[in-house]
Amino acid sequence: MADNTASSASTSTSTAPMKTKKDSQGLLLGRYEIGKLLGHGTFAKVYHARNIKTNESVAIKVIDKEKILKGGLIAHIKREIEILRRVRHPNIVQLFEVMATKSKIFFVMEYVKGGELFGKVAKGRLKEEIARKYFQQLISAVGFCHARGVFHRDLKPENLLLDENGDLKVSDFGLSAVSDQIRQDGLFHTFCGTPAYVAPELLARKGYDAAKVDIWSCGVILFVLMAGYLPFHDKNVMAMYKKIYKGEFRCPRWFSPELTRLLSRLLDTNPETRITIPDIMNKKWFKKGFKHIKFYIEDDRLCSVPDDADVDSCSEQSLSESESETESLRSVASLPRPASLNAFDIISFSPGFDLSGLFEEGGDEARFVSGAPVSKIISKLEEIAKVVSFAVRKKDCRVSLEGSREGVKGPLTIAAEIFELTPSLVVVEVKKKGGDKGEYEEFYNRELRPGLQNLMLEGDTNMEMAII
């Protein structure tokens, strides 16, 4: 489904709100106040809406079930949801939730009110520092997608939105593919994309590397931002395809030598020698003013980390061992008292209230009882994180351990929370928040459980019987 309605901002002037039989007052499922129509496509419409509880503006993509059933697109919709859940990044439009009725499917998405990047380019070429900023954000988002096995395959200025701060957001993953769609030859074979931005290997109608196809499209976008026009253009589509296939383009005189060299690598007709994203990010032209975006997921929402945020990155720690220990003790000394567990909490844990700290079979979490002070438990978690170069994020009696190694499902993130059981005992709950389950289990068994073993209460079999 290649509807551009997945974008959450549009210049549409329609003000007609969506009406449904169940929500005659404009409320969708009792939660969202529906506003003006932002845009529409073959299978869906996008409306501006407001969350009546939080007052947050959102964009709601309304998909007609009957139309997608007739078009055989159910699997496509499921894949789009999976993709949007997998690629949560500050420069990608977020999917907050999916709801459905008998006749409609609703994607509740981030509302990006700055419009399409295409609107800016239509007024003329951009200044180099502005174009560079957008390109940096685009490459950051695309690289993030590729690390998770997601390939956009329809990158163009119309699918790049700008928020109120002027930051870029990649939208419309309707033509995206995931790595498990790759055939035995290791390549994709579906022809897709927008003619002016399509890579030459797609024109050959053979298998292609989708990551290299996205990089080509990024090159065309960069050229357009800097020049104000397309590198390959002709009124006759077949003539344009011929230029693309041969790689015939010329950089304007105002392009710097560094930019020209970068574009020649981006728009290399041979995908084997075309530049990769790590190499792009290593180029001098790209690195100028570039800052890596730091963010994390909290309560299923994306949160940005300010440059001066208090986050302990164990791999970049500059404090000495004694300073680090002193700082750690100082930070935990002021911790509030852990939340108490009542009888209902304990009952809800049974029979999975695992006082021995062992895994629940097939689960992504574990619990154990400890008589150690909260400060000592948190210090031990920080110590374990330091060994494996994980970043540590602390808030009250919650600790998040965040890996840096990218994978298909993102970096491994583990949350530990401490609850008061009695004035002298606490329950430590450890669970996977993000990343691969196998990697989590390996880390838990090799590092986390052995590291916390000495803090676990001895003889907790009798304790378990007493609690039950």
Q: Is the CB of residue 331 less than 8 Å from the CB of residue 417?
A: no
Please list the residues that pair with 301 across neighbouring strands.
298
Please list the residues that pair with 414 across neighbouring strands.
401, 432
Sort strands 339-340 and 413-422 into parallel, antiparallel or unpaired. parallel
- Give the amino acid at 438: G
Q: Is 308 known to be catalytic?
A: no
> How many Cα atoms are found within 13 Å in the side-chain-facing hemisphere of 101?
13
Hey, how many other C-beta atoms are within 10 angstroms of the C-beta on 260?
A: 13
CA distance 44 to 68: 9
3-state secondary structure of 213: helix
- Give the amino acid at 328: S
> With 0-12 CB in 10 A as exposed, 13-18 as middle and 19+ as buried, what is 93?
buried
> DSSP secondary structure string, 224-256?
HHHHSS-SS--SSHHHHHHHHHHT-----TTS-
61 is in an annotated binding site: yes
* Torsion sign, CA atoms 34, 36, 38, 44: positive
User: Percentage helix, strand, coil, to 5, in the chain?
Assistant: 35, 20, 40
Quick one: tokens of 451? 């590291």
CA–CA distance from 243 to each of 201, 205, 219, 413 (Å)?
Answer: 13, 16, 15, 46
Pick the catalytic residue from 3, 154, 312, 354. 154
Place of tokens 């890596």: 292
Hey, how many other C-beta atoms are within 10 angstroms of the C-beta on 286?
A: 19
Instruction: Phi first, then psi: give them for residue 408, nearest 5 degrees.
Output: -60, -35
Annotated binding site: which residue ranges?
61
Residues taking part in catalysis: 154
